[in-house]
Amino acid sequence: MHGEYKVPGGKLVVVDLDVEGGALHEVRVAGDFFLEPDDAILAIDAALEGAPAHTDTAGLAARIDAALPASTVMLGLTSEGVAVAVRRALTHATEWRDYDWQLIHEAPQSPALHMALDEVITAEVAAGRRPPTLRVWEWASPAVIIGSFQSLRNEVDPAGAERHGITVVRRISGGGAMFVEPGNTITYSLSVPDSLVSGLSFADSYAYLDDWVLQALGDMGIKAWYQPLNDIATEVGKIAGAAQKRMVGPNGGPGAVLHHVTMSYDIDADKMLEVLRIGKEKMSDKGIKSAKKRVDPLRRQTGLPRETVIDRMVESFRNRYGLTHGRITPEELARAEELATTKYSSAEWTARVS
């Protein structure tokens, strides 16, 4: 069995192992990390040898920690990262390069249709009728997108939304409200088989699926990192928020994960505060006094046009994992248009948590 895991902000960990009699056997850990003393790698292998195959990530990490010499120094590596790689091997997790990735980047579409396309495309991936897909959004109109479980009245000022011509829609994933204006926002979705995040905790899957964009931003000179649970941040402020939805496959079989990210390219903070109800309680754990200071847009940090930032992100993904141009099929579009009308534009759905 073979498992790989790139430690967030760190290096790749590779584990090869067998299972005999319900226990780990012939465990070999490798990777491009740094580790001292030299024989600490043998201590890691020995700590994992014989561990029950059902041992969870925390239990495996504890075995490693207990076996390492006191003088051990890990760079780009953590005991938990090794444990995750073991769990990924045991669950037959897939890797990014196992797939023929498809890019969808089409003309601007309405907020409701974007919500519907996320649902339809991810369901198609779960059913095996579509390859894993990176979809870059273009917005036809300004919008506020609230999380699946948020209270509409608590998050949105209806008078402010009406005054600025902003459509309010509810997505199928959890998380917080996002304020979007065409030209000021970069939004993308990853629709992937759930085997890609097999062996990862829900929280770890965010960091894992965000890692490629952190590297893309780094290529543009932006030092960004994953900030639990679902933010991408820099030293001068948050630049993006992510959300996920898990979908079960046909007949309860293997499913898919929707991971979508909204990035701030530019922002009209005054308008945002007229539309979103951002209370003091929500800001209390952020260590700042003003909601305006929470977001530091990519336009200021890169000095690049929005289209160039998108092109560089896409090219970074392509260079790492391969990516071919695709399209929304007529059948997918028809289903999405139906959902946009019957579900995502309906008061019943938008106000389901009033």
Q: Which two tokens stand for residue 176?
A: 């917080």
C-beta separation of 209 from 245 below 8 A: no
Name the helix (H) or strand (E) containing 324.
Answer: strand 324-325
What whole-number distance in Å separates Cα of residue 316 and Cα of residue 4?
20
pLDDT of residue 284 exceeding 70: no
pLDDT of residue 294 exceeding 90: no
pLDDT of residue 279 exceeding 90: no
C-beta separation of 45 from 15 below 8 A: no
pTM summary value = 0.91
Per-residue pLDDT tens digits for 110-168? 999 999 999 999 999 999 999 999 999 999 999 999 999 999 999 999 999 999 999 99
Residue 158: C-alpha distances to residues 113, 153, 345 (Å): 21, 8, 16
